[in-house]
Structure 1
Amino acid sequence: MIGRKTAPKLEIYRRNPFYWQLDGRPELLLGGAAIENLYQWPAAELAEHLQELVRCGGNMVGNTMSCRHIGNVWPFARDRGIYNLDAWNEEHWRRFETFLAATAAAGVVVQLAIWDRFDYYQEAWLENPFNPDWNCNYTRKESGLDGVYDQHPSKCTNAFFRSTPLDRNNRLLLSYQERLVDKILSYTLPYDHIIYCIDGETNVTPAWGDYWAQYIRGKAAAAGKSVYITEMWEAWNLADPSHEATLDHPELYDFVDVSANNHLCGERHYHNLVQVRRRLQAAPRPVNNIKIYGIYGGYGNSGSGIHGPMREAIQRFWQCLFAGAAAACFFLPAAGPALNAEAANMIKVAREVLGAFDLFASEPQPDLLLTAPPEGACLLADPGREYALYLPFAGPATIALPEEGWRLELHWFDIGRGLKHPPAYMTVKDYRITIEPPAVPVEAMEVEVGAASPLGTESIEATEAAEDMWVAVLRVRGKR
């Protein structure tokens, strides 16, 4: 295991609250996970996975407290097939404790989802300890729960998620839910690398998330701890009213997760992210993307499904970063690239590229991008000092600048091949500059771009699905 002397401490970055800081220094959170509930994995496999993540520059995983898959264990004890919600399954909590210690030792931040709605519907509900047919603690009538919920979780038919005081005020059920959350917090609160998400994704009423946000914060305060909490909504449209519960309530939710937007791609995907950033301007908070979707077909740019091909996943990843997101993680293999070779390459490349300019002083500046190839070109800028341009497809791009005669230093990064090109120098004319990747000569360049060299200390393998993607970094070097 790649280890640390001390466990990491995650906080919101004081100088720019749109980002996180780790151990007092600003840190971009990048990652991917092979499964959504890593804590259920055997310790050896978990350690290997975390090592792989850290080696490629990753420092974040998502983890849902989900128990429905083969080989998983539920948190409650079972006797002759019947669960007891007053008795714990020690094996479950041993796995959870191992996971928390391993991620702390690796310096990997965890976004922990308390509830996973897919555990509470269809086949999973038929094995769930909260199902009144499978525990000795309450009946259907006493709990208000049915023994069968055949609908998709998006239908919100399970009264399990309606127990809170401002909803149906089901005190019997809520007492067992609180007991489970208390147990989770007894393990997590000693650590400072855990942030909390109420649901893996949801479209229930805001009363559910609001209650648990206040409950968790109250328990943390009683233990003398600060916590960071959000809710994740199902609606792909970030302008949907459901997102208002988190976007408009910084007193409840310390950060925002917009993973639902990662079902989209291209201009719409980027525009939504920028609009969220602008909406949060009055009360800046980190914007996380713990789920970046895109089916991995095993053939680079091929392989598609409802979430699109691998190339779209990579484009989403870069657009998240260039829209000012604080965290971007590839999702599990069933719906995303997780941590396959291509995702790992992108994390490596992102560390090198985003380390070439001051990301934490920059802001998304799409209005300064006058022309660019279609479908998702993005611009970050610290105006007057640095500009960073992401191109999902090669082509000329024109950036508006406030001064004539500026001397600019231009660096091109070939994302797909993991290469960087030597600097070129340009002068601003007509309050704008037009640049194009070095495969195509650019008239305004005053020196010829030389041979490219590998990014980082070791070569990064080519990523077919990122072919012809580029990042340009422009630095102002004074006036001629």
Structure 2
Amino acid sequence: MQFSLPYLLVLSVFLSLAACSESATLAPPTDRTLMPSKTHPRYWSWDGGDPVLLLGASNNDNLFQSPDFLEQLKVLQKAGGDYVRCTMSSRDEGDAWPYAKNAAGQYDLNRFNPVYWQKFHDLLRESAARDIVVQIELWDRFDFSRGPWMLNPFNPTNHAPGQLPLHLPPAKTNERAPDSLLLSRYPDHPSRDVQPFFHTIPGMPLYRQELDALREYQEAYVDTLLSISLAYGNVLYCMNNETTTPAVWGKYWASMLRERAEKRGKQIYLTDMFDGFHHPASCPACRALLRDTTHYDFVDISQINSRHFGSAHWDTLQYIQEQLEQLPARPVNSIKVYGGGETAWGSGTNMDGIRRFNRNVIGGLAAVRHHRPPTGNGLNAMALNSIRAIRTIEQRVKFWNLSTRDADILVYPEVGEAYTAISNDGDYLIYFPGPGRIDLQLPQERTQMTYDVSVIGYLGTQRRERLVPPYAPYFTIFTNEEKGGWMLLERVD
């Protein structure tokens, strides 16, 4: 009997995992499956039931590689969080790569590293036991250029000879040898998309027929991932991390994943993440993703959370939501909200991260997560408090019942800024990102309504007063709170 290379690799890692650790049987996969809510399909739900708002944070993107991942899950859950990121990356110090090494210390692309896959399995198992959603990114371009490429198993200097038609170019050059498919160095930023590893699909700009052999290894890798992940219903699938590669690359893998899942009787939810979402109106790939409901079951717009601040960030978010209004409803996620480091590319401060996170939530996103440090808040106190505050608000009003349309009760603020949403019942939620003044005008009605006014601080604390007629419909609110807060006006019948 003959078996294909992908089959042998997947079988090998499956047997290794089965014998690797008794912990693999401690917590069986949950029977619950994450899917869009049937009643509010712009939000996620378990088994199509009541919608849930996913809120997350972690100190690492490839959380399965973190020795303290379980403690991070517990801290997040205690704060009310239920959403983490899992890039399948190996570029940080101490990370495991997916392939085993031979006696000579070279990677053997025909043997997987069971340690890597056991870590992945452990994260999915422990997350599922806590109803924490894991959003996977299959390919991370940053593992395949600059310093990380020098350690990558697919670098022709790092794996056993003869496994792929990949050859080292002339020493100390970055020129391609005549018979070379991959180079030993890719020193440019990966946004330049010069790495043939991401062009193994026929018709792509850098495709050559010789790359078909490399694609077999890629397919074996994906099959192995699915042999673990399809047992769990708490997993979302994103093809890339902030890619600039043509969309055909991600669509190929999305189609493969969907086909494999259907053969197993599983329904999975897929998307891709394009780097250009910080300027969606001038990003063809972004606009195409918004329109394409065949390949993309949800949308990830994480890149709006860099470069933009204040009203520019809000306007970009609202532009995307407006583009989606005429299409079948899908959840919109933001797996990374930058805020920290004050980088040249616009990560901003830690407080900028909190403001972006909260604007995303009131702006109607289904899942939002704080990015890792140093360019995100991770699991710091500010991030955890932001999650607690939002869960406090949810005790009074559900975000899926809110709309930013017809919620303009603010007269143009002289100082500061604020963002508003209105519920189906006429309740108003206002987010104050920081100190300042806003002028507020309630709707003119024949009979004035009584309102319960709740102020929710950035720590999740709250106080409540009742606004009873008669009152002037126009009034001014001042806040000196640097860290901002929320105000909820609930109509009392």
TM-score (norm 1): 0.86
C-alpha distance after superposition, 1:66-97 (max 9, x if no partner)? 01111111111111122222211111111111
Letter in 1 for 2:309: C
- Give 1:120-159 correspondences, 5 Å limit: 120-136=144-160, 137-140=163-166, 144-159=181-196
The 2-side partners of 1:5 and 1:110 are apart by 13
Query: Match of 2:352, SS?
Result: helix
Matched, 1:411 2:426: no
For the 8 Å contact 2:377–2:383, the answer to whether it is kept is yes
Please state how far the C-alpha of 1:109 moved relative to its aligned partner: 0.5
For the 8 Å contact 2:449–2:492, the answer to whether it is kept is yes
The 2-side partners of 1:247 and 1:229 are apart by 13
Letter in 2 for 1:310: N
1:363 paired residue among 403, 410, 429? 403
Query: Match of 1:219, SS?
Result: helix
Partner of 1:443: none
Partner of 1:386: 427
Letter in 2 for 1:472: M
Please state how far the C-alpha of 1:399 moved relative to its aligned partner: 4.5
Deviates more, 1:15-24 or 1:321-330: 15-24
Partner of 1:219: 260
The 1-side partners of 2:433 and 2:198 are apart by 41
RMSD, aligned CA: 2.5
Please state how far the C-alpha of 1:384 moved relative to its aligned partner: 4.8
Please state how far the C-alpha of 1:180 moved relative to its aligned partner: 0.5
Q: 1:174 to 1:4 in 2, by over 3 A?
A: closer
Partner of 1:471: 486
1:243 paired residue among 286, 293, 296? 286
Deviates more, 1:336-345 or 1:23-32: 23-32
Deviates more, 1:280-289 or 1:109-118: 280-289
Partner of 1:330: 370
Query: Match of 1:388, SS?
Result: strand
Percent identity at matched positions?
A: 31
Partner of 2:313: 269
Partner of 2:353: 313
Partner of 1:61: 84
Query: Match of 1:140, SS?
Result: coil
Please state how far the C-alpha of 1:351 moved relative to its aligned partner: 0.6
The 2-side partners of 1:118 and 1:309 are apart by 23
The 2-side partners of 1:119 and 1:311 are apart by 29
Q: What stretches of structure 2 of length at least 5 have no aligned partner?
A: 1-22, 168-178
The 1-side partners of 2:376 and 2:165 are apart by 39
Partner of 2:332: 287
Partner of 2:238: 197
For the 8 Å contact 2:29–2:232, the answer to whether it is kept is no
The 2-side partners of 1:477 and 1:67 are apart by 54
Q: What stretches of structure 1 of length at least 5 have no aligned partner?
A: 297-302, 441-465
Deviates more, 1:163-172 or 1:256-265: 163-172
1:82 paired residue among 106, 119, 139? 106
1:25 paired residue among 21, 46, 50? 50
1:10 paired residue among 29, 34, 39? 34
Please state how far the C-alpha of 1:273 moved relative to its aligned partner: 1.0
Please state how far the C-alpha of 1:416 moved relative to its aligned partner: 3.1
C-alpha distance after superposition, 1:178-222 (max 9, x if no partner)? 110111011000100000111121111011111111111111111
The 2-side partners of 1:274 and 1:92 are apart by 40
For the 8 Å contact 1:317–1:328, the answer to whether it is kept is yes
The 2-side partners of 1:428 and 1:354 are apart by 29
Please state how far the C-alpha of 1:415 moved relative to its aligned partner: 2.3
Partner of 2:220: 179
Matched, 1:339 2:379: yes
C-alpha distance after superposition, 1:309-336 (max 9, x if no partner)? 1111111011001110111110011211
